[in-house]
Chains A and B, each alone.
Chain A
């Protein structure tokens, strides 16, 4: 079945540091890949997405590139801010072989804390 593995947290960084959160996936075919962010007490917000190999998703300074050869979708940001403190989830989305029953499979989440 489909699965997502992301690096265990928590990750603690100082403001303006470089961020990488690793994510690898297992799936047949060509899933779509997503990063979601969850701020304390809130639901999930879509941060960025990529729907095919070599696509780069980007938003708010965050980037991730869909690497089919390494089955990875690592999240990066060049200079984090205190306001980036949140839990980040990597996810893949795919239909079943019949083209229906689309669902998201999530990683366990990585807690990021950015200190001033």
Chain B
């Protein structure tokens, strides 16, 4: 079956602009999470969506937002881009997490955002 698809793969934006990244989860997966990966901070959790509802949010400013559609596809938006937003943004999908321990996520290949 198809994996997690993230588009675009690469993006260059100018400081102050906004950007929208897209993630299509594995068919049947209803949970989509987003992570930011930078050399300095490593992998940091942004937010998670499940059935179109944001269930959890990491410690990022309000410039970072997201949403999930009825087909489970998700988008994340970053407004007023800063140089420090340059990163690899990874999306992960999973089946419903279990109360007893959860399941591993399947990650996409990421979108490499460069802010100049």
Contact = CB atoms under 8 A, between A and B. Distances in A.
A116 interface: no
B106 A94 contact: no
Interface in B1-44: 4, 6, 31, 33, 35, 42-43
Interface residues of A, number: 29
Contacts of A31: 101
Interface string A29-43: 011101010000011
Nearest to B108: A43
A67 interface: no
A36 B104 CA distance: 10
A68 interface: no
B42 A95 contact: no
Interface residues of B, number: 28
Contact of B45 (A34, A51, A100, A103): A103
Interface of A: 30-32, 34, 36, 42-46, 49, 51-52, 89, 93-96, 99-109
Given A104-B45, A106-B43, A44 B56 contact: no
Contacts of A104: 33, 35, 43, 45, 92, 105
